[in-house]
Amino acid sequence: MEKNAIIGKDIPRTDGRAKATGAAMYTDDFKLPGMLHGKLLRSPVPHARIVKIDVSRAKALPGVKCVITGADTPKIKFGNWRLFPATQDEYPLAVDKVRFIGDEVAAVAAIDRDTAEEALELIEVEYEELPAVFDVDSAIAEGAPVIHAESPGNISIDRKINYGDVDKALAEAYYVREDTFTVHAVSHAYLEPCSSLAQVDLDGRITIWTSTQTPYIVQCLLAATLGMRENDVRVIKPYVGGGFGGKMELRTWEFCAAFMAKLTGRPVKFTLTREEELAYGRRRHPMKIRSKVGFTKDGILVGKDLKILLDGGAYNSMGPTATFLCGNFGAMLYRYPSYRFLGEHVYTNKPPAGAMRGFGAPQSLFAAESQMNMAAEELGIDPIELRIKNAMVTGDRIPGVATISSCGFIESLKAVARMSGWKRKRSRLKNGRGIGIGCYSFISGGVFNWFNTQYPFSAAEIRAYADGTVHLLTMASDIGQGSDTVLKQILAQELGLKMEDIRITSADTAMTPQADLGSWGSRVTLMAGNAILDAARKIKKQLAGAVSAKFNLNVIFDIKFADGRVFAAGKPERGMSFGEAVAFVQKANRGEQLVARGSYTPRGKGLVTPAFSFGAQVAEVEVDKETGLVKVEKMWTAHDCGTVLNPMAVEGQLDGSIQMGLGYALSEQFVMDGGKTLNTTFLDYKMPHAPDMPPGESVCIETYEPEGPMGAKEAGEGLVSPTAPAIAEAVWHATGFRCKDLPITPEKILRGTGKL
């Protein structure tokens, strides 16, 4: 086997056949004997005290087996688990009052969905309506209605970063600009709506199959809200049809399925409708961003003062984390000698915002990159040249937050300039055509130094067999991004085996080692990959010892693992097959199975993440001057993701990121009226479809990340951020209209160019 025969190759997804043939089982595909169907009653008003709930008529309906309200539950709050325990503010079902249209008030379990829906109509709720607020400025204004008593000013949490002397730097700067940007909420729009199925055994233990990104977090929070021990709850993640951050928390239907299964002794399943997902589901944080930056005469950054108000909706959800991260991303990409950030998470009477792909980066970087483009214009410096002057490089630090251990940002800038013909097009494009740039940096595994857990951040178990196969057990969650495939690649490469020699069991809290914090923050490849390498090297140590003993080798011989064999370097005849080596070890250990466990928890690697990815993107657009319609003609992308483990997988992540970035920039938005979401189908929620996708070229700028498995780091989530600022700049280049308020709609362009 050649070096890197698996790493760096296009390896098709291991789940591809099951998904293409329909064999893949998602949560809603599971059916158990005696299973009941659950439905949720939701508040029709944005803010009200619950005076009385009468469920008697619903309980009397034939076929209804269980009806619960908040009063029936243990009344234990959940939320941003272990990161900020004090910010847990959400009950599984509303107890005292409702805080947004869609807040869950009661749940029904019946013999079929139709009966459950009919029962919902029979529940009578008396509300005492309260004044409501729907934007951050109104929410923090004096005299605004209080949404949570614990936060009388409706600011649930604030986060700060501060280093250098910002005031002095900006006062002495040659050029200072201050801008305010507003960015909007969008939906995750995953294809599989959330679904959960719970079953209780005769000993009262719960098993729940659920569409989740974080089985271990669901296990912990579900056990806590049920008043149970952690290991009395088993969470199994079947195939998941996308998550993008929207499935990384405990949610009401998971609690209700488990709680009602305990009450009835029968399996209970909840599956949301698309309307519920769009109308009431988590969404990306809208933000109001005020940014002030200063430069020297020749374009060197001297300081930045950033304040962001996050519209968190009715509950904290993952907002406290996003509040810090958007400030972290505001300090990335460029060397800021002085930097000040204040982020405030604000309650409003709208559906809660949570984690979504990029987790604070798309919003913060839209503002930062737009300002870099505007400053370049006014300073008379090419936008790419201005970035190169200020670009981060390996070894740069954000004081107290991060150290850049590998960085290919400048190389990415030069690559997109070359690929796109930047200088020629920037000077010549006219008549409604424009070209623009946006850049990004992103974390490779997130926020670990804030966690308080007795478990490692990722763990793996490897079982080796005498038939030459191995079994990998990991709680890392493949939610469609292909992590099962890349983790098998890492293990196969390390042990010198083929992909088909490896079986994987993932994301089952009763079968796989504790713990893994889930799929978010682009953490799986780096963290789970390192845990797998730790376990694999323990296996290798035992097998190498066996080969050395059998062939009486001394220490001068390196033991190699390749082509399914274990042998002495330079003398391949002195070796045996992988399976024979396993059998040899087992025999020496009196038949004990060859098993190794590995773990990974980065320490001393920064507050936020052990590694950062970087990249740049250029967009070329054509704008119809009569209608304001924007057509993206082509995208060029260069990104530093460390060692590329699977080019095919990286390309897929890039395409998905561009699709999400395109919708964020141009078309996707919620239409709201008094806290009510009006566009609740994919017909009215305008995501880009396949025909809307522009052609593109991309290149991976390979660096070696010393903290990453085989040099790898983040390769997909960060790429969602540069698309919107690149398109916004291209629209300005084509029309002279500068959009600071996403999305960039035809109406805004026409107003901005005096055509409307």
Which of 517, 508, 512 lies closest to 472, judged by CA? 512
- The pLDDT-based confidence of 82 (bands split at 50, 70, 90) is low
How does pLDDT run across 180-198, given as a tens digit for each residue? Answer: 999 999 999 999 999 999 9
How does pLDDT run across 100-140, given as a tens digit for each residue? Answer: 999 999 999 999 999 999 999 999 999 999 999 999 999 99
Which whole number is the average pLDDT over 391-413? 94
Q: Per DSSP, which regions of 44-191 are E strands?
A: 48-54, 64-69, 97-98, 104-110, 124-129, 155-163, 175-183
Residues 677 and 660 sit within 8 Å (Cβ to Cβ): no
Provide CATH code, domain 16-22+457-600. 3.30.365.10
Which whole number is the average pLDDT over 582-601? 96
Q: Is the pLDDT of residue 40 over 90?
A: yes
Count the residues in the chain: 756
Which whole number is the average pLDDT over 344-371? 98
Share above pLDDT 90 across residues of the chain, in percent, rounded to a whole number:
91
How does pLDDT run across 453-499, given as a tens digit for each residue? Answer: 567 889 999 999 999 999 999 999 999 999 999 999 999 999 999 99
Which whole number is the average pLDDT over 415-444? 95
Q: Which H, E and C letters describe 287-324, residue by residue?
A: EEEEEEEEECCCCCEEEEEEEEEEEEECCCCCHHHHHH
Q: What pLDDT does residue 1 have?
A: 40
Spell out the residues 6+ positions from residue 213 whose beta carbon is closer than 8 angstroms to its own: 240, 243, 245, 247, 248, 477, 479, 518, 519, 520
Average pLDDT score, the chain: 95
Which whole number is the average pLDDT over 216-232? 95
Please determine whether the domains at 31-130+191-242+247-280 and 287-448+606-752 fall in the same fold group of CATH: no
Q: What pLDDT does residue 544 have?
A: 95
How does pLDDT run across 250-281, given as a tens digit for each residue? Answer: 999 999 999 999 999 999 999 999 999 999 99
Share above pLDDT 70 across residues of the chain, in percent, rounded to a whole number:
97
Q: Is the pLDDT of residue 553 over 90?
A: no
pTM score of the predicted model: 0.96
Q: Is the pLDDT of residue 83 over 80?
A: no
- The pLDDT-based confidence of 429 (bands split at 50, 70, 90) is confident
**31-130+191-242+247-280 CATH, one of 2.60.120.10, 1.10.40.30, 3.90.1170.50, 1.10.238.10:** 3.90.1170.50
Q: Is the pLDDT of residue 249 over 60?
A: yes
Domain boundaries, the chain: 16-22+457-600, 31-130+191-242+247-280, 287-448+606-752
How does pLDDT run across 283-292, given as a tens digit for each residue? Answer: 999 999 999 9
Q: Which pairs count as long-range contacts for 553-561, CB under 8 Å and 24+ apart, including other chains?
A: 560/496, 561/494, 561/495, 561/496
- Taking domain 287-448+606-752, whether its CATH number is 3.30.365.10 is answered by yes
Q: Is the pLDDT of residue 605 over 50?
A: yes
Phi-psi region of 154 (alpha: psi -120 to 50; beta: other; left: phi over 0): left
Residue with tokens 């704008």: 623
Q: Is the pLDDT of residue 84 over 80?
A: no
Which amino acid is located at 594 in the chain? Answer: L
Q: Is the pLDDT of residue 516 over 90?
A: no
How does pLDDT run across 313-331, given as a tens digit for each residue? Answer: 999 999 999 999 999 999 9
Beta bridge partners of 613: 442
Angle (CA) 714-715-721 rounded to 5° is 95
Q: What pLDDT does residue 86 have?
A: 80
Q: Is the pLDDT of residue 447 over 70?
A: no
- The pLDDT-based confidence of 3 (bands split at 50, 70, 90) is low
Which range (569-573, 667-671, 676-680) has the least confidence?
Answer: 569-573
